[in-house]
């Protein structure tokens, strides 16, 4: 009977509320373009609440305004707020959920038809990335003659929703004192899906026949399972009434968040998961990885073995490890290594007879000890052989032991550079010769064919040119060889041109010498004994300057035989600002790709601008444009070049700069066949230098 009345009442209310359309204000929050991760130095905590990206505190720290958290430090601990004043309880990346504290709605009567106080609660997440999670929340009403209403609108704006629940109890004793809300003093109902605006309110037209034993009713939208009903929630009045007890920082509401529009998950080993009818997405670390998929490098390998060791109970179910085996962690997974004498995926004993087991283990452990010793001894020479130590020796190349290099570099205490190939450390040999030791750090860089590597080192050892950094020797005992180079004292051309508060004066002649020297080195590489090499990473940062600013081209550690580079599978690790667009299009790196990069170097020499300068401008693009429009790049030349040589020569110098600019533009041609060869570049630069020095005009003809 009771329920039938309730149902009829709700239906009536439904009609009442729907006919005059509810007008709810909508404020659309414009979503700015997504940015690529947080800026460095963003705080990760507010008080004791973890704030992971896409959320963030302060400018440039959150993915967009909608994920901005304001942290109020006047509380202890500090409190985090989001959107229109919701206090954040916690954020869960893995599920895309966030808990906020919400208020409660109440209505109190001081006679059956006089409302003494009333409060409703509105949640408006319109235009934001948040929705009220239907799976994780439920709507609750508490009271003895209560009609609690839940009205809402869904995201697509075409649905209005009315729900609610009714509780009755003829007297307090009649209410069921149980944790389950079944309509006797307490009622609960599910929340519909996809709501972004919800109001918890009351039917104020009704009278309250229970006012003299349960004067107040309370309603809230809260996390499922959070609320446990109790009889004493019904009978309070004034300050003891239930809604006052709950207060404003108690009731948790679960919000569901996601990203709109197409965006990428920044971390490697992560995937996009489409949600909300595929219109929104979230990121998830791949299996075997955990962390924050929204930032670069956020998903990190899970060390399953460590977890198994720390808590076999919990993780044993998840990660199976048969008895008699050892766990070995791998990137994204783990491996099961059977102990000695066991085989198969379940690591069963080879000899099942227990009789044999005792002597067998004895023998086995003895053997193991011996094998380990032998293994260690062989490991070093093993790498040595694998890396072609014999070939190297036959070439009379200096070979260093691992220990020697450690001494030379004083335990790698002075890093002087970092390249695509690894890190570079300064060292001093026994003969007091200063050297640079290049140590590969990235395992992924390990060439797939060791034979290739030996070949490369051999080639590098054979190429010898005054303008190439000389390879002195190598160490082949480590898995990836370490290379020892001559030490070049004056830093890189990049540093000389672009760094330092007072830039070093560089007259045109010095710049031409640097250009000629480095061009010669590249021309030499390109024509080396019929086996042409490409450099692969020509840039001012890789042109080192020795005594008297003699240029020495370095980092040809990534150089290859052109025949190898022509295959698309060679991945150039070069600087994007210098890379030949033809290579990007075709995946084929040729000598003319080095010529392109050298064109950029020439432009840096005459403009003293970096390859990317100002507000992300591209030097080659801007210079070529300037030449097309004005016939030359005079607007962009480095002023110092002219003044440092005295004004008397400047008209002629400007002409010389024009010529260098034109040569650079030819190096940058889109059609690689129209680009000059490095040998031709050398030739032209030498002629230019000659003309710049003589009194004649720099112009040809």
Ligand X SMILES: *[C@@H]1O[C@H](CO)[C@@H](O)[C@H](O)[C@H]1NC(C)=O
- Give yes or no for residue 226 binding ligand X (CB under 6 A): yes
CB-based contact 688:660 (threshold 8 Å): yes
| Single residue of 74, 277, 396, 448 touching ligand X by CB under 6 A | 74
CB of 47 to ligand X, least distance (A): 12
CB-based contact 99:88 (threshold 8 Å): yes
CB of 231 to ligand X, least distance (A): 13
Looking only at residues 645 through 674 of this chain, which bind ligand X when binding is defined by CB under 6 A?
none
CB-based contact 292:298 (threshold 8 Å): yes
- Give yes or no for residue 110 binding ligand X (CB under 6 A): yes
- Between 402 and 441, how does the x/- string for binding to ligand X read (CB under 6 A)? ----------------------------------------
Of the candidate spans 111-119, 185-193, 382-390, 453-461, the one that interacts with ligand X by CB under 6 A turns out to be 111-119
Output 56 or 517, the one with its CB closest to ligand X: 56
- Give yes or no for residue 269 binding ligand X (CB under 6 A): yes
Other Cβ atoms less than 10 A from the Cβ of 488: the count is 21
Of the candidate spans 27-35, 106-114, 601-609, 655-663, the one that interacts with ligand X by CB under 6 A turns out to be 106-114
Dihedral (CA of 524, 464, 565, 530) sign: positive
Output 246 or 579, the one with its CB closest to ligand X: 246
DSSP state of 39: P
User: How far apart are the C-alpha atoms of 447 and 392, rounded to whole Å?
Assistant: 18
DSSP 343-403: ETTTTEES---HHHHHHHHHHHHHHHHHHHHHHHHHHHHHHHHHTTHHHHHHTT-EE--HH
Task: Choose among 37, 38, 56: nearest CA to 46.
Answer: 56
* Neighbouring-strand partners of residue 147: 166
Q: Is 438 annotated as a binding residue?
A: yes
DSSP state of 503: P
CB-based contact 409:426 (threshold 8 Å): yes
CB of 136 to ligand X, least distance (A): 15
Of the candidate spans 159-167, 224-232, 353-361, 615-623, the one that interacts with ligand X by CB under 6 A turns out to be 224-232
CB-based contact 310:301 (threshold 8 Å): no
What b/e string do you get for 96-124 counting C-beta neighbours within 10 Å, with b at 16 or more? bbbbbbbbbbbbbbeeeeeeeeebbbebb
> In the annotation, is 537 catalytic?
yes
Phi then psi dihedrals of residue 511, to 5 deg = -65, -40
* From 537, 580, 622, 638, the catalytic residue: 537
* Neighbouring-strand partners of residue 200: 121, 150
Output 359 or 444, the one with its CB closest to ligand X: 444
Burial bucket for residue 201 (CB in 10 Å: 0-12, 13-18, 19+): buried
Of the candidate spans 154-162, 223-231, 518-526, 602-610, the one that interacts with ligand X by CB under 6 A turns out to be 223-231
Output 421 or 494, the one with its CB closest to ligand X: 421
- Between 31 and 70, how does the x/- string for binding to ligand X read (CB under 6 A)? ----------------------------------------
| Single residue of 44, 95, 116, 120 touching ligand X by CB under 6 A | 116
Output 213 or 613, the one with its CB closest to ligand X: 213
- Between 168 and 187, how does the x/- string for binding to ligand X read (CB under 6 A)? ----------x-x-------
CB of 534 to ligand X, least distance (A): 26
Output 228 or 694, the one with its CB closest to ligand X: 228
**Residue with the CB atom nearest ligand X in the bound state:** 332
CB of 267 to ligand X, least distance (A): 9
Of the candidate spans 110-118, 461-469, 484-492, 595-603, the one that interacts with ligand X by CB under 6 A turns out to be 110-118
Output 248 or 379, the one with its CB closest to ligand X: 248
DSSP state of 189: E
CB-based contact 400:481 (threshold 8 Å): no
User: How far apart are the C-alpha atoms of 433 and 402, rounded to whole Å?
Assistant: 18
- Give yes or no for residue 629 binding ligand X (CB under 6 A): no
CB of 109 to ligand X, least distance (A): 8
Copy the structure tokens of residue 685. 């630069």
Output 170 or 549, the one with its CB closest to ligand X: 170
| Single residue of 92, 212, 345, 563 touching ligand X by CB under 6 A | 212
CB of 226 to ligand X, least distance (A): 5
| Single residue of 12, 16, 94, 268 touching ligand X by CB under 6 A | 268
CB of 442 to ligand X, least distance (A): 11
Dihedral (CA of 390, 391, 392, 393) sign: positive
DSSP state of 272: E
Total of residues contacting ligand X (CB under 6 A): 17
| Single residue of 14, 121, 161, 213 touching ligand X by CB under 6 A | 213
Of the candidate spans 189-197, 226-234, 469-477, 629-637, the one that interacts with ligand X by CB under 6 A turns out to be 226-234
What b/e string do you get for 415-441 counting C-beta neighbours within 10 Å, with b at 16 or more? eebebbbbbbbbbebeeeeebbbbbbe
Bridge-based pairing state of the strands 137-142 and 186-190: antiparallel
Q: By 3-state DSSP, what share of the chain in percent is helix, strand and coil, each rounded to 5?
A: 35, 25, 40
User: How far apart are the C-alpha atoms of 288 and 428, rounded to whole Å?
Assistant: 44
Task: Provide CB contacts within 8 A for 343, sequence distance 6+.
Answer: 350
Looking only at residues 581 through 610 of this chain, which bind ligand X when binding is defined by CB under 6 A?
none
- Give yes or no for residue 87 binding ligand X (CB under 6 A): no
Output 111 or 687, the one with its CB closest to ligand X: 111
CB of 211 to ligand X, least distance (A): 8
Q: What's the order of all strands across the beta sheet hosting 86-92?
A: 56-57, 68-72, 79-82, 86-92, 97-102, 251-257, 130-132
Burial bucket for residue 257 (CB in 10 Å: 0-12, 13-18, 19+): buried
Output 24 or 42, the one with its CB closest to ligand X: 42
Looking only at residues 288 through 327 of this chain, which bind ligand X when binding is defined by CB under 6 A?
none
| Single residue of 174, 331, 402, 629 touching ligand X by CB under 6 A | 331
| Interface residue list for ligand X (CB under 6 A) | 72, 74, 110-111, 114, 116, 178, 180, 212-213, 226-228, 268-269, 331-332
Q: List the catalytic residues.
A: 537
Q: Which residues are annotated as a binding site?
A: 438
Q: Which residues are annotated as a binding site for ATP?
A: 438
């Amino acid at each position: 009977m009771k329920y039938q009345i309730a149902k009829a009442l709700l239906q009536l209310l439904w009609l009442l509320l729907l006919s005059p359309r509810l007008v709810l204000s909508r404020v659309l929050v414009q979503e700015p373009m997504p940015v690529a991760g947080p800026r460095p130095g963003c705080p990760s905590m507010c008080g004791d609440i973890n704030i992971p990206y896409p959320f963030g505190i302060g400018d440039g720290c959150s993915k967009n305004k909608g994920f901005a958290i304001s942290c109020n430090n006047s509380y202890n601990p500090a409190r985090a707020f989001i959107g229109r004043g919701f206090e954040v309880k916690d954020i869960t990346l893995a599920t895309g959920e966030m808990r906020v504290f919400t208020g409660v709605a109440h209505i109190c009567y001081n006679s059956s038809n006089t409302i003494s106080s009333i409060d409703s609660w509105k949640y408006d997440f319109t235009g934001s990335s948040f929705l009220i999670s239907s799976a994780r929340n439920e709507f609750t009403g508490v009271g003895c003659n209560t009609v609690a209403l839940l009205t809402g609108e869904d995201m697509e704006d075409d649905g209005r929703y009315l729900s609610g629940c009714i509780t009755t109890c003829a007297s307090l004793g009649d209410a069921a004192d149980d944790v389950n809300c079944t309509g006797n003093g307490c009622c609960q109902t599910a929340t519909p899906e996809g709501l972004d605006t919800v109001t918890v309110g009351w039917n104020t037209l009704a009278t309250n026949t229970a006012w003299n034993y349960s004067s107040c009713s309370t309603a809230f939208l809260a996390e499922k399972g959070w609320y446990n009903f109790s009889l004493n929630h019904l009978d309070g009045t004034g300050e003891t009434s239930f809604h006052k007890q709950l207060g404003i920082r108690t009731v948790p509401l679960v919000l569901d968040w996601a990203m709109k529009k197409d965006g990428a998950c920044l971390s490697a080993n992560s995937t996009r998961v489409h949600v909300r009818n595929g219109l929104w997405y979230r990121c998830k670390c791949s299996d075997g990885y955990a962390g924050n998929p929204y930032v670069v490098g956020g998903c990190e390998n899970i060390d399953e073995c460590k977890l198994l060791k720390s808590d076999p109970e919990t993780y044993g179910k998840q990660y199976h490890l048969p008895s008699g085996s050892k766990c070995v962690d791998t990137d994204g997974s783990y491996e099961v290594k059977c102990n000695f004498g066991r085989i198969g995926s379940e690591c069963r004993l080879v000899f099942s007879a227990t009789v044999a087991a005792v002597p067998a283990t004895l023998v086995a452990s003895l053997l193991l000890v011996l094998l380990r010793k032998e293994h260690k001894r062989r490991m070093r020479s093993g790498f040595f052989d694998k890396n072609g130590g014999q070939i190297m020796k036959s070439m009379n190349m200096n070979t260093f032991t691992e220990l020697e290099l450690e001494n030379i570099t004083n335990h790698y205490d002075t890093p002087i550079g970092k390249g695509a190939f690894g890190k570079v450390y300064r060292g001093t040999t026994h003969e007091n010769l200063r050297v640079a030791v290049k140590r590969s750090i990235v395992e992924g860089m390990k060439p797939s064919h060791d034979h290739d590597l030996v070949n490369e080192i051999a080639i590098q050892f054979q190429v010898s040119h005054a303008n190439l950094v000389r390879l002195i020797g190598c160490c082949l005992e480590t898995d990836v060889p370490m290379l020892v180079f001559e030490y070049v004292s004056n830093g890189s051309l990049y540093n000389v041109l672009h760094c330092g508060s007072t830039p070093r004066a560089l007259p045109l002649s010095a710049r031409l010498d640097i250009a000629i020297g480095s061009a010669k080195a590249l021309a030499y590489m390109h024509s080396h004994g019929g086996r042409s090499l490409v450099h692969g990473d020509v840039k001012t940062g890789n042109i080192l300057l020795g005594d008297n600013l003699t240029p020495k081209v370095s980092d040809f550690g990534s150089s290859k035989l052109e025949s190898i580079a022509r295959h698309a599978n060679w991945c150039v690790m070069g600087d994007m600002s210098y890379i030949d667009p033809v290579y990007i299009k075709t995946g084929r790196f040729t000598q003319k790709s080095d010529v392109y990069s050298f064109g950029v170097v020439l432009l840096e020499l005459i403009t003293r601008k970096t390859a990317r300068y100002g507000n992300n401008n591209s030097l080659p693009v801007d210079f070529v444009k300037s030449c097309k429009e004005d016939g030359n790049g005079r607007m962009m030349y480095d002023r110092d070049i002219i003044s440092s040589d005295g004004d008397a020569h400047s008209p002629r110098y400007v002409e010389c700069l024009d010529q260098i600019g034109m040569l650079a533009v030819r190096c940058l041609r889109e059609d690689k066949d129209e680009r000059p060869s490095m040998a031709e570049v050398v030739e032209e630069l030498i002629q230019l230098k000659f003309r710049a020095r003589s009194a004649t005009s720099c112009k040809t003809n």
